[in-house]
Amino acid sequence: MFYKQALLIGNDQYSGENASLKSCVYDTKTMTNSLRSIGFHATPAIDLRNDQMESVADQFTASIQEGAIVLFYFSGHGAQLNGKNLLLSIDSDGLTGLNAQVLLQKMHERKPRVIIFVLDCCRSRIEIPYTLLRGVLFDQRPRLRDGLAPMGGPPSTIIAFSCAADSTSLASSPDRPNSIYTHHLLKYITTPNVDIDILLKYTAMDVQRDSLNKQLPFIYSNCNESICLNSNPWPMMSVWPG
């Protein structure tokens, strides 16, 4: 049995006008419970400042065991800056954040069996504060864009965006506490003996259908083996959602 480790970060309490979110902390807690139910050593972290996010990510990365199945989940604001995907802390100025590409590379240096990145972010447009741009030549301004940039990774990497690259995801619905993406992911994530690639595709199909094609999740995978998060040699019954 492979060791299974997860770090889950959810940020709701963003500073700034109309910046706060509603479902990210709940998303993180429910995902944590689901992963723990299938044997993950899952570490949740909520409403983190930038220094806290860096510290939590570094501590988790250092704890990764060689050959482990590793899952990283982020729910909150995200943006891209000059091709870098930034996962934003609650005190972010819009120009700083946890660099997803750098984090992925550092995690791979620990030689896990596979790394699964689930990024349920990009919920709204992020504006650069005018005060940060004063005195900067136009062609030197940071190129902050909506959504996340297309992202790959080393071998044995699986990446799931809740929405397509360069786009934003829908706001949470008042009739359910989770985001639309995490709501559907939770239906499948604990399914026994099914490859994670298939679970993510079912999630993406449900999100696309539920959103009437307004939100199109993105999946990148270069993992050439079957990865089952919940391997059960004696499943008592099928648990596929109806």
**DSSP, res 17:** T
Q: Could you write out the DSSP letters of every residue in 175-223?
A: T-SS-HHHHHHHHHTT-TT-BHHHHHHHHHHHHHHHTTTS---EEEE--
Indicate whether 39 belongs to any domain.
yes
**DSSP, res 24:** H
Q: Mean pLDDT, to the nearest integer, of 44-71?
A: 98
pLDDT of residue 126: 52
Instruction: Name the more confident of 144 and 158.
Output: 158
Indicate whether 237 belongs to any domain.
no
Indicate whether 159 belongs to any domain.
yes
Instruction: Indicate if the pLDDT at residue 179 is higher than 80.
Output: yes
Q: Which among 17-26, 181-190, 227-236 has the top mean pLDDT?
A: 181-190
Instruction: Indicate if the pLDDT at residue 7 is higher than 80.
Output: yes
Indicate whether 130 belongs to any domain.
yes
Q: Mean pLDDT, to the nearest integer, of 106-126?
A: 87
Instruction: Indicate if the pLDDT at residue 240 is higher than 80.
Output: no
Lowest mean pLDDT among 73-77, 118-122, 145-149, 223-227: 145-149
Lowest mean pLDDT among 28-37, 64-73, 142-151: 142-151
If one counts the domains in the chain, the total is 1
Provide the whole-model pTM: 0.89
Indicate whether 191 belongs to any domain.
yes
| Domain limits for position 155 | 4-221
Indicate whether 232 belongs to any domain.
no
Residue type for 54, please? Answer: E
Indicate whether 71 belongs to any domain.
yes
Q: How confident is the model at residue 202 (pLDDT cuts 50, 70, 90)?
A: very high
pLDDT of residue 133: 37
Lowest mean pLDDT among 74-83, 111-120, 194-203: 74-83
Residue 224 tokens read as 């050439």
* Domain CATH number, residue 81: 3.40.50.1460
Indicate whether 56 belongs to any domain.
yes
pLDDT of residue 9: 99
pLDDT of residue 130: 40
